[in-house]
Chain A
Amino acid sequence: MTPFDFSIPINPSALTLEMLVAALGLGILILGIISPKGARSGLGWVSFLGLMGIIGVAITMWGQSGELLAGMYLLDNYALFWKITFMVAAALVILGNMRYVDKVGNQAEYYSLTIFATLGMMVMASAGDLMTLYLGLELMTIAFVILVCLRKTDNKSVEAGMKYILLAGMSSAVLLYGLSLLYGLTGSVIMLDISRIIAMQPVSPALVLALVMIIAGLGFKISAVPFHMWSPDVYEGAPTPVTSFLSMGSKAASFAIILRLFITALPGVWENWAMVIAILAGITIIIGNLVAMPQTNIKRLLAYSSIAQAGYIMVGMVTASEAGIKGVMFYAFLYVFATAGAFTVAAYFYNVTGSDELKDYAGLSQRSPLMAAVMLVALLSMAGIPPLAGFVGKFYLFKTIVDGYLWLVFIGLIMSMVSVYYYLRVALVMYRDEPKDPSPINVSGPVTVTLILTMLVTLIIGIYPGPLSEVVNSAAHSFFLH
C-alpha cells in the first residue's frame, strides 16, 4: 500500500498512443472549424488515415510492458491488443459510413467524438486503478451520449440519447458505489494492491456488496441481462454508425476492463463471482436470442443479437484463466469485423432506401450481391457456423468451461441453434424474396472496401485461425505478468 508519489518520473513515450489519438481528435475538431463546409467530408479521410497511422505505431509497440505511477496505468500486450482492436473498429466505422455522416452533417463533431470515445476505451484497456478505470469509462460514455443524439432533428435519436444518458448515469452511480466500497475496504485504488489486501482478509459482506454493484454497473455497459434494457432502444434510435461502434467498441472496452478488474483485483473472491457471471451469461444468451426472434427491424434484431453475443463472451470470464481471456479477446476481435460488416450494410441500405425494416431487404441479393453476401457472412459468423470466424471463437470460449459448467455449454449450443433461425430469416428475405424495387444498389468505393475487408477477415480467421490465436495467446499471457 504505497501512497501516491507524484515525484515518480513518467516516461511520456509510454503514452504515445493515447497522446496521438487525443491529438488526432483535437486536430479534427480544429480542422472542422477552419475548413469550409464543402470540404468537411474530407475529415473522414483524415480521421481514417490518422487512425491507420496510429495502428501502425501501435503494432511497433508490441511486446512493451511496464507500469506507470505505481500501477495506475498498465502497459502490456493485453492492453495493446485491445487498443488496436478499438482503433480498428473505429477505422472501420469511419471508412464504411462517410456518406451517412455527410448526410447527417456535423462531420467534425462526429469524427472527433468517435476518436475521443476510442481514447476513452484505450484508457480503460490500460487502467490499473479504479480512478483511471472510471475516467476512461466516462470519457467513452459521454462521447457516446453525444454521438447517439447526433441527429438532432430526429426524435428517435434524441430520445435514445436521453435514455442513454439517464440510464448510463444511473449505472455509473451504482458502479461508483461499488468502487468506493472496494476502496473503503482495502484502502487502495490500485488493482494490484487491492488484490493483495483482499487475499489477506476474510471475505466480508461489504465486499460482496461491492462485487454486486460492480457487476451491475459494468454489466450495463456490456448489456448483460438484466441490465440490458437500454440497448435495443438506444441502438435503434442512434445513427447506425454510432450503433455499430457502440455495439463493438463500447462492449469490447467494457470487457477489457471487466477482465482486468475481476481477474487482477478480485481473483481472491473468484468463488463468489464465478457462478454469478456464469448464470448471467446463460440468461443473457437465452433472453438475447429469444427476443431477437420476433424482431422486424434490422437494427433491433442486431441489438438483441449483440446482447446474446455479449452473453457468449461472458462465458470466457467464468474460469478467470488464461484460456478464458484468450477466448474473450479472440471473440471480441472477430466480433468487431462481423458487426462492422452487418452494420455497414444496414447503414448503407438506410442511406439508399431510408428504411431499417427487414421486409425492405427483400431481394437484396439481386440488387447488390455484395451487400447481401457480406450481411450473410456476418450473420452466419455470429451464429457460429463453420468455416467462419465465429465458429472458432465460440469454440475457444466454450472449451474453457466444458469442465464444471456443462449446463452453460448446453445453453450456448441450444441457443446458437435458435439464433440460426433469426439470422437465416434475414438471409431468406435477402435471397428468396423478390424485391419490390429491383433497381440495383451501387456501393461506393470506401464502403466496398470495408465490406470486402470484413468479409475476408471473417472468412480467413475462420479457416486459418492460427496467427490470430498466437497473437491473442501472447496478449493473454502478458495479462498475468504484472
Chain B
Amino acid sequence: MLVEFAMMHAWLVPLLPALAFLVIVFLTRPFEKLSAIIAVGSMAIACVIASFAAYGIFTNHEYTKTPLVYAAKWLSLGMPGVTDSLMVHVGVQLDPVSAMMMFMVSFISTFIFLYSVGYMKGDPGYSVFFAYLSLFGASMLLLVISSNLLQMFVAWELVGLCSYLLIGFYTHKISAREAAKKAFVTCRVADFGLLLGLLALQITFGTLNLVELGEKIHNFQEYTSIGMLTLIAVLVFIGPIGKSGQFPLHVWLPDAMEGPTPVSALIHAATMVVAGVYLVGRTMFLFHEVESAMQLVAVTGAFTALFAATIALTQREIKRILAYSTVSQLGYMMLALGVGSLTAGMFHMWTHAFFKALMFLAAGSVLTALHHKADVWEMGGLIKKMPITGWTFVIGGLAIAGIPPFAGFWSKDEILVATLAEGHYVLFAMAAFTAFLTAFYMWRMIFLVFFGDEKPENHPQESPWTMTVPLIVLAVGAIGAGWFGTPWYNVWAEWIYFGEPHHGPINYGAMLLSIVLAGSGIYLAYTMYLKDAQKKRARKLAEWFGPVYRMLYNKYYIDELYLWFNHALVDGTARLFYLFDLYVVDGLVNGIGTFTKSSGDGLRVFQTGRLQNYALIFFLGVLAVAVLVTFTGPSAASLVLGGVK
C-alpha cells in the first residue's frame, strides 16, 4: 500500500521541499526556528517517500527493463491531429537509477539540512538560507525524476540558480559574490551547449521524452546521420562538463567553496555536481551509439581526475583540497561512463556522496571550532579535542583513499576493472596513479589537521549534536555503502546497468594493485607529514621541484589564462563592439525610438475629439477597406469590372 502510494506519487518528493521554499519565503521568514523545522521536516518526509518508492523499484526486476513512467501534459503547441504539434510533458520516470538517486539526494539532503540547523546558528539570513536549501533540494529532485530532457533542463537551470544564490550567500564577502558570479557564468556557457544539443535532439527526433528518445536513437539511421548524432552527443556533453566541473570548465567549483560549508557539502560535493554525471548516465543511449563521444567522455574524465589530483597535492585550505578531490572523483565517474559502465559510474557516485558529504561536514565542524581558520598548516592534533569529527573524518579518508572494506574501495575498484576490461590501458594507468595521489593528498590533510602536535593558539571544541549526528550517520554510509557492490556479491550490477548486466571475472590483480597504491599513498603521507614532525622532507621536496610546486599551487595558472584571455580577447573585442554600439547601434536605436515616438505624437493629431472628424475617418476607412479587398483578393481586376471568377 504505502510502497504503491510512494511509487505513484513520486512527484511529491520534489514538491514538498518546493512548498517549504514558498512557505518560508512568504510566511515564516521572521520565525527562524519554524523555518528550519519546515525545511528539515519537508525534506525528511520527502526522504521517507523516496525510500518507499525506491523499495518498490528495487523489489521488482521488471523496472530494470521498463521504467515506471507517468506524466501530465504541461503545454501543447498546435492542435490535436496536426502531426508536427509539439507536446511538452512534466513527468516522473522511476527506474533503479533514478530511484537510487532520488533516495540518495533526499537522504543526504535531510542530514545536511539538519547539520545546517547548528552550523548557521546566529546568521542574519537563517530563514532565507533554509528557503534556498529547500529550493535547491526541490530542483535537484525534480531533475532526478524527470521523464524528459526539457523538464530536466528546467531543473538543471534551477539548480544552477540555487548554486548561485548559495555560493554568494555571504553577500558581504566580495570573494563570495565573485565566486557566485563565476559559477553562474561558467555553467551558463556550458548550458548553452546543452541547450543546443537538446534543440537538435528535438528537431531531429521530434521528442525529448527519455523513453521515446531511447527507442528512436537506437535506430537513429532512420532520422539522421552519425555525424549529426556525434555533434548532438558532444553538445549535450558540454553541459555536464560545466556542471560536473570537468576540465576545462572546472574553475568554478573550487571557488564555490566561498559558500557556507553545508552548501559545499550538499551542492558542490554530494548532489548538484553529480547532475552532469547523472545526465550522461540518463542519456547513455545517445552516447552508446557514438563511439567517439564515448571516448571524449572517458578521456575528459580520466584527465580531469589526474589533473585535479595533482592540484590538490599542494593546496593549503581544507575546503579547497576537498573541492579538488571532488573534481577528481567526478572525473572518475565520467571515466566509468565513458568506458561504458553505467554500473561503475553510478556506484562511485553513490559511495562518493556519502564520504564526500561526510568529509565536508567534518571540515565545517573543524572550521567552526577554529573560527574559520582554513589553512591546514595551522591546525594539528585536533582529534583529541574533537573525537567524533576527527574519527568520522578518518573514516571518510579511508573510504576515499580506497582501503577495504570502506565504501570507496569497492566503487573505485569497479571503475578500474571496467576500464581495464575495455582495454583502455593508458586511461587505466592514469586512474591508478590518481588513486595513489588521492590517498596521498587526503592523508596529508588528515595528518596535518587531526594528528601531530596541537597548536597552542587553537582552542577547539566538539560541535553540538545537530552537527555530529549527521557525521555519524554519514560515516556509517561511508563504511557500508559499498557493500552492495563487492565483486563476490554484486547486487548493484544486477539493478543498475545499461544494456545487459555484465559480470566480469573477479580481477584480484587490480584489487591488489589498488590496495597497494592506496596503502603506499597513505604511508608516504605518514612519513612526510606525521613521522617527520618538522616536515623537513616536505619542504625540501617543494624547494627541489620549485617551479612544479608553484605551478600546481597556482592550479596550472588556468584562472590566469582565462583572465588573460578575457582581458586580451574579450575585453578587446568588447571595446571594439562598444564603439560600434555607441555610434551605430545606439544611433539606430535612438533614431528608431525618436521616430516611433514622434510618429506616435504625429498620429495623435488625428484624435481631435470632434465627432465629425471621426465619422469622416470611419467612412474613409470603409473606402480604404474596399480598395484593399479589391486589390488583395483573387483576380481583383476582373472583380471590379464585374467579371466572373
Contact = CB atoms under 8 A, between A and B. Distances in A.
A291 B600 contact: yes
Given A162-B611, A229-B607, 19 more contacts: A170-B618, A171-B618, A174-B622, A202-B644, A216-B618, A219-B625, A226-B617, A226-B618, A227-B618, A227-B621, A229-B606, A229-B618, A269-B633, A292-B600, A293-B600, A326-B79, A399-B77, A399-B78, A473-B80
Nearest to B630: A208
A100 interface: no
A279 B632 contact: yes
Interface string B60-89: 000000000000111111111010000000
Contacts of B77: 395-396, 399
B599 A276 contact: no
Secondary structure at the B interface, as helix, strand, loop or mixed, is helix
B639 A205 contact: yes
Contacts of A407: none
Sort A-B residue pairs by CB-CB distance and give the 7 closest, nearest first: A226-B621, A275-B632, A272-B633, A229-B614, A290-B600, A293-B600, A216-B622
B625 A216 contact: yes
Interface in A313-355: 322-323, 326
A209 B596 CA distance: 34
A9 to B, nearest CB: 36
A174 B620 CA distance: 13
Tier of interface size on chain A: 35 or more
B306 to A, nearest CB: 44
Contacts of B633: 203, 208, 269, 271-273, 275-276
A163 B614 contact: yes
A208 B611 contact: no
Interface of A: 162-163, 166-167, 170-171, 174, 202-205, 208-209, 211-213, 215-216, 219-220, 225-227, 229-230, 232-233, 269, 271-273, 275-276, 279-280, 287, 290-294, 322-323, 326, 392, 395-396, 399, 418, 464-466, 469-470, 473, 476-477
Contact of B625 (A280, A291, A399, A464): A280
A212 B619 CA distance: 11
A27 to B, nearest CB: 37
B503 interface: no
Interface in B621-637: 621-622, 624-626, 628-630, 632-634
B645 A203 contact: yes
A384 to B, nearest CB: 15
Nearest to A293: B600
Contact of A208 (B82, B629, B644): B629
A293 B598 CA distance: 9
B227 interface: no
B607 A290 contact: no
Nearest to B87: A466
A326 B618 CA distance: 30
Chain A binding site: helix, strand, loop or mixed by DSSP? helix
A466 B640 contact: no
A291 B601 CA distance: 7
A211 B603 contact: no
A166 B615 CA distance: 9
A230 B614 contact: yes
B609 interface: yes
Contacts of A233: 607, 609
A217 to B, nearest CB: 9
A398 to B, nearest CB: 11
A470 B75 CA distance: 9
B574 to A, nearest CB: 24
Which of B76, B609, B614: most chain A CB closer than 10 A? B614
A131 B526 CA distance: 99
Contact of B74 (A209, A227, A466): A466
A315 B305 CA distance: 57
A57 B558 CA distance: 69
Given A326-B79, A466-B72, A418 B596 contact: yes
Contacts of A326: 79
A464 B597 contact: no
A464 B629 contact: no
A473 B75 CA distance: 12
B634 A465 contact: no
A290 B599 contact: yes
A323 B609 CA distance: 39
A276 B73 contact: no
A308 to B, nearest CB: 12
Residue from B603, B618, B644 having most chain A Cβ neighbours under 10 A: B618
Contacts of A473: 79-80
A435 to B, nearest CB: 25
Contact of B615 (A167, A215, A469, A470): A167
A227 B640 CA distance: 24
A212 B78 contact: no
Nearest to A477: B80
Contacts of A280: 625, 628
B373 to A, nearest CB: 44
Contacts of A163: 611, 614
B615 A212 contact: no
A369 to B, nearest CB: 13
B504 interface: no
Contacts of B632: 272, 275-276, 279
B604 interface: yes
Contacts of A225: 621
Nearest to B634: A271
Given A272-B633, A465-B75, A212 B622 contact: yes
Contacts of B626: 208-209, 212
B642 interface: yes
27 contacts: A162-B611, A166-B611, A167-B615, A205-B639, A205-B640, A213-B622, A220-B618, A226-B617, A226-B618, A226-B624, A227-B621, A229-B606, A229-B607, A229-B617, A229-B618, A232-B607, A233-B607, A233-B609, A271-B633, A273-B633, A276-B632, A279-B632, A291-B604, A294-B600, A323-B79, A399-B77, A470-B76
A216 B645 CA distance: 24
A261 to B, nearest CB: 16
Contacts of A211: 629
A279 B621 CA distance: 13
A396 to B, nearest CB: 8
Given A229-B607, A233-B609, A466-B73, A276 B618 contact: no
A225 B603 CA distance: 12
B629 A276 contact: yes
B298 to A, nearest CB: 39
Given A323-B79, A465-B75, A466-B73, A212 B625 contact: yes
Contact of B601 (A170, A209, A294): A294
Contacts of B620: 226
A294 B597 contact: yes
A375 to B, nearest CB: 20
A270 to B, nearest CB: 10
